[in-house]
Structure 1
Amino acid sequence: MLWYCAFTWYPGTTRHEVAQRVVQQHDLGANHPERIHGWYNLAGGGAGFLLVELEDPRELTAFLQPYMDLMSFDVRAAYALNYEQTIQELREISKQAQ
C-alpha cells in the first residue's frame, strides 16, 4: 500500500536536528530507501511529504516514530488512478440522474 505522509516541523526544530536524525536513521538501516517512492520538501522549508510503500500500517508507524519529536505527520493511504479509465467512470457518473 502507498502512504502519503505529510510532515511539518515543530516550532523550534532546526535543520541541524533534522539532518542528524535522518542520517542517524539511515546509518541504522531504518529508513529503507527502497520503500520511499518520493520525498518532497515544500518551498520555504519546514514541511513536505513522503510517499512510502508498505503493506502493514504498523511498519509505517515504526518508520515514522523516530521523527515524531521533531515533526508532526498527517498520514493517508493513497492509490493511483488510471486517467483515461477514471474519466470514463466520471462520465458515467455525470450522466446519472440526481
Structure 2
Amino acid sequence: MVDLVKSKKIDPSKLVLISPYAANVELLDRMLRKNAAYEALKGIPSPSTVDSFQGQENDIIFVVMGTAHPRPGPGFTSQEQRLNVMLTQR
C-alpha cells in the first residue's frame, strides 16, 4: 500500500482496510499508528471489520483475510451471506 501511495500518488484517504476479524483490524490499526514505515499512509481511514464497514464505500478496498492459531481456517467467511457483504463493498 505504501508503494501504491508513493508511486501512483494516490490519496491515502481513498484507501480502506477491512477484515472479517476484529483482531486483524486491531493489529492493522496499531501498525498504521505506530510504525514509521507506514507514514505515507497518514490520512487513511481507520481499518474496519467487514460488518462495521457495510453500507460505506471508498475507491480502493484491501481485504485482509488472515487467521491464526488456535483456530486457523475460513471462520465466518465460509458463511455465504457474510462473504457476499465483504466482496460487494464499493
TM-score w.r.t. length of structure 1: 0.29
Rg bigger for which structure?
1
Considering fraction of residues, name the structure with more strand: 1
TM-score w.r.t. length of structure 2: 0.31
Q: Which has the higher contact order (CA 8 A, sep 6+)?
A: 1
